[in-house]
Amino acid sequence: MGRLTLAPRPPLRPQGGKWSFFCPNEAPGLCDCYGEEFERLYERYEREGRARESVDAQKVWFAILESQMETGTPYMMYKDACNRKSNQRHLGTIRGSNLCTEIVEYTSADEVAVCNLASIALPRFVLPATPAAAAGSGEGGEGGAPARYDLEALHEVARVVAKSLDRVIDGSEYPLAEARNSNPSPSPSPSPSPNPNPNPNPNPNPNPRRATPTFATGRWASAC
């Protein structure tokens, strides 16, 4: 998966302030914290003279904006907001996202987050109104019906998409062992069946952890 490092926001400075750039080996820990903790460490390293270079903050910002207008990149997300809102923040500081920035996931020394994507075109599931309804007020007339959303078809397509993403996970070649460790593991277990009678097959799904899709980890079906 393509990766984008989340850019922490340096502390707010008055107009004309500087933006300092550090070598991660000379100023360790900045990528592992956010919010007030990041600001304290950032300012401490500035006082200690560890910055490789300090540039006018406006100059850096305008360079970013110019690049975005001309090329569409760099994609930007805000590390503080991502970590404060993430349901994975209890694992540690989230430092990156997938390339298109629609998801952020925690990565550790043992597991590298992986993004598995599929898309569903939602307009294809709109059933048009019948002529009788279209000619009237839109609420449906005699012999007609208003436009509606085909939720049953969407359910079926989403089910196929989830199974297809599972096959992608199983069949992918992983360049890193840490990615192979990560990709199958976040899949949630299926919800308990409301049927009080036990299933006669003790293991109907050989990998029950892969039974349902999730929007909290790396398996995503985007709606567009």
98 tagged catalytic:
yes
Residue burial 62-100, b: 16+ Cβ < 10 Å; e: rest: eeeeeeeeeeeeeeebebeebbeebebeeeebbbbbbee
Set 26, 36, 48, 100: catalytic member: 100
Mean pLDDT by 10 residues, the chain (224 residues): 51 72 94 93 95 93 94 89 88 86 84 86 90 54 77 94 90 89 62 39 37 38 40
66 is catalytic: no
pLDDT score of 3: 46
From 98, 111, 116, 183, active-site residue:
98
